[in-house]
Amino acid sequence: METGKIIRFDPEKGYGFIRPDSGGDDLFVHTNDLFFEKSEARPGVQVSYTAEESHRGAKACDVDLVETVGSPSGGSRAATDGADSLTVREYLAEVTEVLLGASPTLTAEQIVEIRRDLLRSADQHGWIED
């Protein structure tokens, strides 16, 4: 099994992408290949998986959450202690995507202002890395 982080997942569309810890191209992941609830498939969540080549390219199969110290037995949870933080670029890309999906009528100026405030907050909470 390999490990990586979810960098994007759209629960409505049922797919996303995983960035391998070992480097290389991001892998496609479909909701049918998750061994956990798709609501837990969020950017920064550490997962283990099997990489396969499909007719459309590389994909992740048998995807499960990586257990962390202190996880309750019988289930695995991803770390949320800052160890799985996003880069500023990744965070801003996710924020922009969420904003556009939630309110497509936002102006560019409004998006920039909201992103600036959210970035400041994320930095104060240690959710992003430089």
| Tens of pLDDT, residues 37-92 | 888 999 989 999 999 998 888 999 999 998 654 444 334 444 444 446 678 888 88
Question: What's residue 130's pLDDT?
Answer: 65
Task: Label residue 102 by pLDDT band (50, 70, 90).
Answer: confident
Question: What's residue 48's pLDDT?
Answer: 95
Which residue blocks in 1-130 are alpha helix, DSSP H?
A: 88-102, 108-125
Q: What angle separates helix 108-125 from helix 88-102, to the nearest 10 degrees?
A: 130
Closest CA to 107 of 20, 81, 39, 115: 115
Q: Do 85 and 128 meet the contact criterion of CB atoms below 8 Å apart?
A: yes
Residues of the chain with pLDDT > 70, as a percent, come to: 85
What is the pLDDT averaged over residues 88-107?
A: 82
Q: What whole-number distance in Å separates Cα of residue 59 and Cα of residue 54?
A: 7
Task: For CATH 2.40.50.140, list the domain ranges present in the chain.
Answer: 2-65
**Residue pointed to by tokens 């202690």:** 81
Q: Do 27 and 59 meet the contact criterion of CB atoms below 8 Å apart?
A: yes
Looking at the structure, give the CATH architecture of the domain made up of residues 2-65: Beta Barrel (2.40)
pTM assigned to the model: 0.54
